[in-house]
Amino acid sequence: MSNLASFKADLIELLPSLRAFARSLAHNPALADDLVQDTLVKALANVERFEPGTNLRAWLFTILRNHYYSQLRKSKREVEDADGKFAARMATRPEQDGSVDLEDFKVAFQQLAPDHREVLTLVGASGCSYEEAAQICGCAVGTIKSRVNRARKKLTDLLGLDEEDASGLPSEARRIEDTASV
Amino acid sequence: MDDGKDDDDMDAVLNKNSEDAGRRKGKSAANKSLITRNLRLAYSEVQNEGVPDHLLDILNRIPDGEGKKS
Q: Tell me which residue in A4, A37, A124 faces B35 most closely, judged by beta carbons.
A: A124
* Total domains present in chain B: 1
Q: Which residues pair with A170 in a beta bridge?
A: A164
Can you state the angle between helices A56-75 and A3-26, rounded to 10 degrees?
40
Q: Do B63 and A156 touch (CB under 8 A)?
A: no
Q: Domain check: are A105 and A170 in the same one?
A: yes
Judge: B67–A98 Cβ closer than 8 Å, yes or no: no
Nearest to A15 among B30, B34, B55 (CB): B55
| pLDDT over 70 percentage in chain B | 84
The verdict on A63 and A111 lying in the same domain is no
Whether the ipTM is more than 0.90: the answer is no
Q: Is residue A83 part of a domain?
A: no
* Closest alpha carbon within chain B to A125: B40
Q: Are A106 and A161 part of one and the same domain?
A: yes
In this predicted model, what pLDDT tens digit does every residue of A10-40 receive, in sequence order?
999 999 999 999 999 998 999 999 999 999 9
Same domain membership, residue A49 and residue A127: no
Whole domain around residue A10: which residue ranges? 1-77
Domain endpoint, select from A77, A109, A132: A77
Give the confidence band of A67 by pLDDT, cuts at 50, 70, 90.
very high
Quick: pLDDT tens for A103-121.
Answer: 999 999 999 999 999 999 9
Closest CB to B62: pick one of A20, A44, A159: A44
Q: What is the pTM of this model?
A: 0.75
Residue B67 has pLDDT above 80, yes or no: no
Q: What is the pLDDT of residue B20?
A: 79
Residue A124 and residue B38 in contact, taking contact as beta carbons nearer than 8 Å: no
pLDDT > 90? residue A134: yes
